[in-house]
């Protein structure tokens, strides 16, 4: 006989947790082909589909960074790449500046990254808190959150003990220093 729901284990105990290997196997078999999913602390999180303004900002930032990287032979710009943040978290970032070029098709490792950029329209709270902390814990040296609604870039650098020690905000239209170079970019206001 089935037991009444009230006597079952609490909902938190019934959540399915996944390892990075299980997540990657599901992704490789097409389980997430029609959606954008991240693995966060062992749990699957569905991401909102990017809207047009997100796409315009992503294209503008990646284009500006690519123009800077033309002279920086050891640095490359990647768009929509997966990062192995921890053993139980895999994030998809909007833009990354990577040292060198990975030799195989795989997730990027934090020590390969110079900069991670998130374009935030519907995900600002998550990008400014959960992702910021995860990237800092992983020792990713620089992190930008492009806040299109406020027309600013939140700039984080120098990860120390689980958070970034350097924090600033740069308005669209002002020069934004590009990590790993002596150059700047300007996002149109």
Q: Whole-prediction pTM value?
A: 0.81
Distance in Å from the first CA to the final CA of the chain: 65
Determine how many CB atoms are found less than 10 A away from the CB of residue 18: 16
Q: What is the pLDDT of residue 111?
A: 95
SS3 assignment, position 4 = coil
Q: Each residue of 9-35: pLDDT tens digit?
A: 555 556 778 888 888 788 888 888 877
Tokens of 75: 């640095």
Number of alpha carbons in the 13 Å side-chain half-sphere of residue 110: 19
Q: What is the pLDDT of residue 10?
A: 56
> Quick one: which H or E segment has residue 94?
strand 89-99
Q: What is the pLDDT of residue 121?
A: 82
Q: Which homologous superfamily does the CATH classification assign to the domain defined by 48-186? A: tt1808, chain A (3.90.1570.10)
Mean pLDDT, consecutive 10-residue segments, the chain of 189 residues? Answer: 48 72 82 79 75 84 93 87 90 93 86 96 91 96 96 98 97 96 92
Q: What is the pLDDT of residue 62?
A: 95
Query: Which residues on adjacent β-strands are paired with residue 21?
Result: none
Q: Which residue has the tokens 């390969």?
A: 112
Q: What is the pLDDT of residue 2?
A: 43
Residue spans of the domains in the chain: they are 5-44, 48-186
Q: Are 97 and 48 in contact (CB under 8 A)?
A: no
């Amino acid at each position: 006989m089935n037991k009444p729901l009230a006597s079952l284990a609490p909902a938190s105990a019934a959540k399915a947790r996944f390892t990075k290997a299980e997540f990657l196997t599901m992704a490789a078999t097409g389980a997430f082909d029609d959606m954008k999913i991240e693995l966060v602390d062992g749990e699957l999180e569905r991401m909102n589909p990017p809207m047009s303004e997100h796409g315009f900002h992503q294209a503008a930032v990646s284009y500006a960074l690519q123009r800077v990287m033309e002279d920086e032979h050891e640095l490359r710009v990647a768009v929509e790449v997966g990062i192995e943040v921890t053993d139980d978290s895999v994030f998809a970032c909007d833009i990354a500046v990577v040292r060198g070029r990975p030799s195989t098709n795989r997730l990027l490792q934090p020590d390969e990254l110079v900069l991670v950029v998130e374009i935030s329209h519907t995900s600002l709270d998550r990008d400014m808190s959960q992702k910021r902390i995860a990237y800092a814990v992983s020792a990713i040296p620089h992190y930008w959150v492009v806040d299109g609604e406020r027309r600013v870039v939140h700039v984080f650098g120098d990860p120390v003990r689980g958070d970034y020690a350097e924090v600033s905000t740069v308005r669209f239209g002002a020069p934004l220093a590009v990590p790993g170079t002596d150059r700047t970019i300007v996002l149109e206001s």
